[in-house]
Structure 1
Amino acid sequence: GDECHMAFHFPLMPRMYIALQMEDAFPIVDMLEQTPEIPETCQWATFLRNHDELTLEMVTDEERDYMYRVYARDPKARINMGIRRRLAPLLNNNRRKIELLNFLLFSLPGTPIIYYGDEIGMGDNYYLGDRNGVRTPMQWNSDKNAGFSKVNPQQLYLPVIIDPEYHYETVNVENQEKNLSSLLWWMRRIIAMRKKYKAFGRGSIKFIHSGNSKILSFIRSYNNEHLLVIINLSRFTQVGFLNLSEFYGYIPFELFGQQKFPIITEQEYTITMGPYDHFWLELQPDKKSLEIKTQSPEVFRLKSNAWQEIFNIYREYIEKEIMPDYLMTGRWFRAKTKKINRCQISEKMFFKLESSQVSLLFITLYYTEGEAETYCLPCTCTQGVYAERIKEQYTSAVILKFFLNEQECILYDAFYDSNFQAYLFSLIKDSQNLISENQLITLKGECFKSELKTNWDNIISSQILKTEQSNTSILFENRFFLKAFRKVENDINPEMEMNKFLTLKQFKNIPRFFGSITFKDEETNISSVFGILQEFIPSQGDAWTLTLNEIKLYFERVLARKNENPALPSIPTSFYQCGYSSSPELIQNLIGSFYAERAKLLGIHTAEMHISLLDSTDAAFSMEEFNLLYQRSIYQSIRVSVRKTISSLSDKIKSFDPNIRILAENIINNEKIFLAKIKKLLDIKIDCFRIRIHGDYHLGQLLYNGKDFYIIDFEGEPLRPIGERKLKKTAIRDIVGMVRSFQYAVYHTLYKSSTFREEDIVYLKNWGGVWYEYIFRYFIRGYFQKATNTQLLPESEEQFALIMEAFLIDKLFYEINYELNNRMDWIIIPLKGLTDLIEKGKKS
């Protein structure tokens, strides 16, 4: 460690080739287990090829003979005690094998060394003698001497490669720069990803037995960073069974696509891999999972035939110790930043089902600041095999363990019980009522059968959806969709009002409303929605996912033209008249007609939704004109939101990462700029109608079936009071929500998806702004064409721009507040949006 800090790991290199050809992980595992420990200040240099022959001095005679037979059949390719070939020819130019060996190289301990030319798959010429066959000029482009030198070709020390398969006119940097699917770009992406994780360079390695010798699996760990590496060495599909119990409750996330894999349990983790497949998976603790609170038998031991007695005998302990922690794990719990002063089970309802029993708890939470809130939590009990299945598949549903007549049981969220799911469906289908024991609460089912024709029979199976959302959703036979609202509101939820109203208006681009379940407080006569039943819309996913994919394709097209150094196109001044066909040719080629038309279609459907909400004699939906008092109210509301959010930012800024802190400080220091912008609302008279709107309109609220969009989730912004969500507002609010969502998708792709390298992100940032500016204008053009002469938009584009900017500021500050409460790692996105707004203002 005092004289040599870095050495090539020569014994490891040939074992990687042997393992690949034999389709057996043992040679790699065996060699790494024999590798001696080195001081912390030292490092191994790992490599696949270098300027010398592929040395076989440190292998056995049998291994050397094997390497010659499979990698150097031509004796001329052998020299000294090795093989004088480059990586691509060694692997018969098999792209999958080339990627796999490089992936392996970047995954193992040590600093990977790449030999020049291997990043583009250069060939060799072992007829040149000695080891010169792998030392030919670097192939930069298709010009003379492969762009390596402008001298007479005869003056080159070694000739360029002209083998037809590896000819420099085909295999060169310039060509591969233009092709985002090239080996060069693949290498850049994997190197960029490796740099983001210290575990690859400094972490320990622990091999995981897979039960399949063709699958190599190990974990690289550094501090709290744990990366699972899985590699299929076989040319055929393989299945592995990994013992990952050490990481019980963790969720693997694939690094490149950020796809979430199933949660790790105590059981073997099954993984299926295609030929030469390979994964990098980051193991993250499940934020929703709860360590099941197991009490001593003396505390939670019931001798009764009624498990519900636990709420009587141990009520105080459950209210104080169990429920506050459990509620904090639910995405549907909306007060994670509030400090709970007291938790009280204020009411219970009892359901006796065919094979289970359910207690519906009404849990009231009193905070140190703000008003109390009530949440409903249906609970049931099970034991044995079914209990184990719930713990394994739905960890976050388990509330606690206890003993009932010496039998270990679990108390869990009854929404995950199929009997309770079926009961809720029948409650709506048959319009049943249920009254609580003290006669204070009525649970009422209502069916919309008379209005809609559908088949209500043969509903056998149901399942709870695991998607991240602020409510709980249950699917029945791929025909009906039940959305349950956990928070008990003192008013009818706008989701039910809007969905029912638009169904009656025969607006086609929504899931139809089929029924509901409501609570009614018999003392106050106030009703609250427990759940609504809707039509299930089969889809390919949401518009958010569709948009992220399109943005990635757009960025790839931009990078492919990077060497051409195209100038950034100018941004159109018009909001209402910017169409795809009138856009610059470069924009048309980069964005493509597919998504441009989808953005316009989305604008059309948005206008159709608002038009459906215009014409009504219903007081809750009748349109109203703007007045100056209401304009003043809008200004004051946005101003309060801005100031409160900046105050929250200031309180938490010390906990931010340095880069995030810089962005937040910039927002805080420019508070006056935002207040000045929104004050312009007082300088004009807004000339359009106020109507009921969606209220939380963004790409995630649209299902896409491959042809068309369906609008969902009319609940409004969940952090706002329910009364505020039902206020009539300008349709521009929804338009701004969607416009902001387009920008959100750009920032997410750049800063959250790990798709592009840091140096590419710097270049792509401005091009991302171009995509956003054109796409939201296509969206607004589609809206304007449909909504002409409806007074949904002001006739003046200047007025529209002023209103849109004010609402954008409001939306951005709302997003900051939301991310502070729910997803701190996403806060960079609204901070970047406000930063860009400041910069845009300075330029103008």
Structure 2
Amino acid sequence: MTEFVLTIEWKGFERDKYVHTVLEDNILPPYIKNCRWFAGKARKIKQLKVRHVVHFEEFIFLMFEARYEEGDNELYLLPISFIEENAQNIPAKGVLSKATLDDKMGYLVDAIYDASFRRALYKAIFNQSKITQYNNDLLVFNKGKILTEEADGLDSHLPNIDSSNSAMIFGGKYFLKLYRKLFADTNPEVEMVEYITEHSEFRNIPLFAGSVTWNRLEELPITFGVMVQVVENIKDDWSMTGDYLNDFLEAFVEGNFQIKESVFDKVSQLAHRTAQMHLALFALRGADKFNAEPFDREYRRYLHGKFEALLERRYNLLTDNYLRLDVQAQNLAWIFMEAKDLILDFIDQILTRPLSSFRTRIHGDYHLGQILATNDDLVIIDFEGEPESSITERKIKHSPLKDVAGMIRSYHYAVSAKLFNSAETSNTDAIVLQRAADRWYKLIKDTYLEEYLSMFGSPHPLFKDPNEVNYLLLFHLLEKAIYELGYEVNYRPTWVKIPLKGIVEVINEIEKLRR
């Protein structure tokens, strides 16, 4: 917290250039360095700039832009509140600066730490408030059908969650996610959760309770937050799969290959819930944003261009870092690089191959960490889409097999990380470990895929025939594994063999198809 004492006035805050300058130059730079939600901490910031101000009762939704030396920029949301001295116990991490307002001494704080802000936020959603701004923009609070608790007497708190957004829980029943990094256009999570909740029977998601949106007259709307029903869960499915793998690891160390039947039951359950989610998204009608679409020429060109560009970037990255890899990873990398023409030919087929299957909105960032396990069921969470993609890209309709490929890759990571990074297997031959990992992965993958497809029947508009299913699944498995390669080369070189093994497996399948 800066020792500077800032004099503020809420009225006309959007025009107060002096306060904006002090925020930009003196207050925000040291503050955001300690904020989990600020993604640019490791980057060189050229400038911070207050871009927008939205009034909400006695609070402000402040939006500032981080401009980087590389030339790009990001927009962040910081709700601010004034707290008089000794009025509330605000943690130090929530205090921006000492401040005065209406001759009262206090602090300028991140409003999420202000109980009165949280209470006002909930009340506005419950009452479906619409607040007109100084420029006739609207701050709109939308309410879902399940939101039934009156604001009076409802407590709120901030859960201890390490996230790139901020979370608030109301009455132990409703979870509000306040987005920190903002994008023009409605956040896909709000659209997906609201439409599924309000227009389908699928209930294995956190049910939609409300949203906060800044509707702009001249530009696209910006989503500030979404509220959903709290999910009482035991743990996420990545952790649960880790538990299953602990049992597998224990048996493996003793010389046994053993997978409990309960593991297959859970994999089947996840496959069924995944299929039910996709069926619900396919069945949604009445809005272009959800209607199923064919593999038209424009979409095919988009897929092809994106994959080809990704492939070129990864080849360059792998070439530059080849000597940093261990011997096993180098061998796999060599197979990948030697198969470039084969892969390019496989990618090219998306342009001309007959495809009668349809595509819909999908989850978009589907992996084991996005599944919460309750006492007897599974709940799918976090419908924001791929974090590194633009909002427009996250809303593009794809084959549901893109989600399926994401989950299959997640299983591959789970078993590989467990076997290759455990103390119990540190002295085991790598070939023996790989053989065990491959066998576990194949059994789980086949179970998941077979159970998933069994929910659709054949033919189905989303999956015309087995040939199309096979091609599209291989396409997205290869795309996902090549995408994963970037992170591992840059941040976890010892894990590079995991996506490389996935790539080589698909290359082998492509060669079988050619033969």
Q: Which range, TM-score by smaller chain?
A: 0.7 to 0.9
* 1:422 alignment counterpart: 119
* 2:230 alignment counterpart: 536
Structure 1 residue 466 corresponds to structure 2 residue 160: yes
Aligned-partner residue type, residue 204 of structure 2: N
- Could you say if the C-alpha distance between residues 307 and 515 of structure 1 is closer, same or farther in structure 2, counting changes exceeding 3 Å? closer
TM-score (ref. length: structure 1) = 0.54
* 2:299 alignment counterpart: 630
* 2:80 alignment counterpart: 379
**In the TM superposition, what is the alpha-carbon distance from 1:560 to its structure 2 partner?**
1.7
- Could you say if the C-alpha distance between residues 404 and 518 of structure 1 is closer, same or farther in structure 2, counting changes exceeding 3 Å? closer
Aligned-partner residue type, residue 501 of structure 1: Y
- Could you say if the C-alpha distance between residues 725 and 556 of structure 1 is closer, same or farther in structure 2, counting changes exceeding 3 Å? same
Greater per-residue helix proportion: 2
Q: Does structure 2 retain, via aligned residues, the 8 Å contact 1:639–1:678?
A: yes
SS in 1 for 2:282: coil
> Considering only CA atoms, is the larger Rg found in Structure 1 or Structure 2?
1
Summarize deviations over 1:284-304 as a string: whole Å, max 9, x none: xxxxxxxx4x45xxxx13577
Residue of 126, 130, 138 corresponding to 1:433: 130
**In the TM superposition, what is the alpha-carbon distance from 1:801 to its structure 2 partner?**
3.7
- Could you say if the C-alpha distance between residues 750 and 329 of structure 1 is closer, same or farther in structure 2, counting changes exceeding 3 Å? farther
Aligned-partner residue type, residue 529 of structure 1: T
**In the TM superposition, what is the alpha-carbon distance from 1:800 to its structure 2 partner?**
3.3
Q: Per chain length, whose mean CA-contact separation is higher, i.e. which structure has more relative contact order (CA < 8 Å, sep 6+)? A: 2
**In the TM superposition, what is the alpha-carbon distance from 1:736 to its structure 2 partner?**
0.4
Q: Does structure 1 retain, via aligned residues, the 8 Å contact 2:332–2:504?
A: no
* 2:450 alignment counterpart: 781
Summarize deviations over 1:184-243 as a string: whole Å, max 9, x none: xxxxxxxxxxxxxxxxxxxxxxxxxxxxxxxxxxxxxxxxxxxxxxxxxxxxxxxxxxxx
Q: Does structure 1 retain, via aligned residues, the 8 Å contact 2:294–2:358?
A: yes
* 1:795 alignment counterpart: 465
**In the TM superposition, what is the alpha-carbon distance from 1:818 to its structure 2 partner?**
5.4
Q: Aligned ranges for residues 127-276 of structure 1 at < 5 Å? A: none
* 1:362 alignment counterpart: 63
Q: Does structure 2 retain, via aligned residues, the 8 Å contact 1:681–1:802?
A: no
SS in 2 for 1:621: coil
**In the TM superposition, what is the alpha-carbon distance from 1:495 to its structure 2 partner?**
0.7
Summarize deviations over 1:264-294 as a string: whole Å, max 9, x none: xxxxxxxxxxxxxxxxxxxxxxxxxxxx4x4
Q: Aligned ranges for residues 356-755 of structure 1 at < 5 Å? A: 358-369=59-70, 371-382=72-83, 390-391=91-92, 395=93, 397-398=94-95, 400-402=96-98, 411-436=108-133, 438-439=134-135, 441-449=137-145, 452=146, 454-456=148-150, 460-503=154-197, 504-524=199-219, 526-561=220-255, 590-615=258-283, 616-627=285-296, 630-647=299-316, 653=321, 658-659=324-325, 663=329, 667=333, 670-671=336-337, 673=339, 676-677=342-343, 679-683=345-349, 684-751=353-420, 754=422
* 1:141 alignment counterpart: none
Q: Does structure 2 retain, via aligned residues, the 8 Å contact 1:813–1:830?
A: no
Summarize deviations over 1:86-106 as a string: whole Å, max 9, x none: xxxxxxxxxxxxxxxxxxxxx
Q: Percent identity?
A: 26
Summarize deviations over 1:589-615 as a string: whole Å, max 9, x none: x11111111111111111111111223
Q: Does structure 2 retain, via aligned residues, the 8 Å contact 1:324–1:340?
A: no
* 2:500 alignment counterpart: 834
Structure 1 residue 332 corresponds to structure 2 residue 70: no
Aligned-partner residue type, residue 706 of structure 1: N
**In the TM superposition, what is the alpha-carbon distance from 1:370 to its structure 2 partner?**
5.5
- Could you say if the C-alpha distance between residues 417 and 453 of structure 1 is closer, same or farther in structure 2, counting changes exceeding 3 Å? closer
**In the TM superposition, what is the alpha-carbon distance from 1:464 to its structure 2 partner?**
1.8
Aligned-partner residue type, residue 791 of structure 1: P
- Could you say if the C-alpha distance between residues 471 and 816 of structure 1 is closer, same or farther in structure 2, counting changes exceeding 3 Å? farther
Q: Distance in 1 between matches of 2:298 and 2:159?
A: 44
SS in 2 for 1:380: strand
**In the TM superposition, what is the alpha-carbon distance from 1:617 to its structure 2 partner?**
3.6
Q: Distance in 2 between matches of 1:605 and 1:457?
A: 33
Aligned-partner residue type, residue 374 of structure 2: N
Aligned-partner residue type, residue 429 of structure 1: F
Q: Does structure 2 retain, via aligned residues, the 8 Å contact 1:674–1:809?
A: no
- Could you say if the C-alpha distance between residues 816 and 841 of structure 1 is closer, same or farther in structure 2, counting changes exceeding 3 Å? closer
Q: Aligned ranges for residues 69-84 of structure 1 at < 5 Å? A: none
Over aligned residues, Cα RMSD in angstroms? 3.6
**In the TM superposition, what is the alpha-carbon distance from 1:339 to its structure 2 partner?**
4.2
SS in 2 for 1:677: helix
**In the TM superposition, what is the alpha-carbon distance from 1:842 to its structure 2 partner?**
6.7
Q: Distance in 1 between matches of 2:136 and 2:327?
A: 50
SS in 2 for 1:347: strand
Aligned-partner residue type, residue 639 of structure 1: E
Aligned-partner residue type, residue 367 of structure 1: Y
Aligned-partner residue type, residue 5 of structure 2: R
Q: Does structure 2 retain, via aligned residues, the 8 Å contact 1:732–1:793?
A: no
- Could you say if the C-alpha distance between residues 693 and 305 of structure 1 is closer, same or farther in structure 2, counting changes exceeding 3 Å? closer
* 1:100 alignment counterpart: none
Summarize deviations over 1:53-85 as a string: whole Å, max 9, x none: xxxxxxxxxxxxxxxxxxxxxxxxxxxxxxxxx
5+ residue gaps, structure 2, are: none
**In the TM superposition, what is the alpha-carbon distance from 1:734 to its structure 2 partner?**
0.5
Q: Which moved more, 1:493-502 or 1:618-627?
A: 618-627
- Could you say if the C-alpha distance between residues 730 and 324 of structure 1 is closer, same or farther in structure 2, counting changes exceeding 3 Å? farther
Q: How many residue pairs align between the two structures?
A: 501
Summarize deviations over 1:483-507 as a string: whole Å, max 9, x none: 1222332211111111111112121
Q: Distance in 2 between matches of 1:423 and 1:664?
A: 57
SS in 1 for 2:91: helix
Structure 1 residue 341 corresponds to structure 2 residue 36: no
Q: Distance in 2 between matches of 1:594 and 1:458?
A: 45
Q: Distance in 2 between matches of 1:484 and 1:709?
A: 24
* 1:301 alignment counterpart: 5
TM-score (ref. length: structure 2) = 0.85
Q: Distance in 2 between matches of 1:340 and 1:360?
A: 22
Q: Distance in 2 between matches of 1:750 and 1:462?
A: 42
- Could you say if the C-alpha distance between residues 412 and 505 of structure 1 is closer, same or farther in structure 2, counting changes exceeding 3 Å? same
Q: Aligned ranges for residues 45-84 of structure 1 at < 5 Å? A: none
* 1:209 alignment counterpart: none
Q: Distance in 2 between matches of 1:456 and 1:428?
A: 11
SS in 2 for 1:696: coil
- Could you say if the C-alpha distance between residues 414 and 660 of structure 1 is closer, same or farther in structure 2, counting changes exceeding 3 Å? farther
Q: Distance in 1 between matches of 2:420 and 2:386?
A: 24
Q: Distance in 1 between matches of 2:327 and 2:347?
A: 30
Q: Distance in 1 between matches of 2:336 and 2:450?
A: 32
- Could you say if the C-alpha distance between residues 331 and 662 of structure 1 is closer, same or farther in structure 2, counting changes exceeding 3 Å? farther
Q: Does structure 2 retain, via aligned residues, the 8 Å contact 1:334–1:719?
A: no
5+ residue gaps, structure 1, are: 1-291, 563-585
SS in 1 for 2:307: helix
* 1:267 alignment counterpart: none
- Could you say if the C-alpha distance between residues 420 and 672 of structure 1 is closer, same or farther in structure 2, counting changes exceeding 3 Å? farther
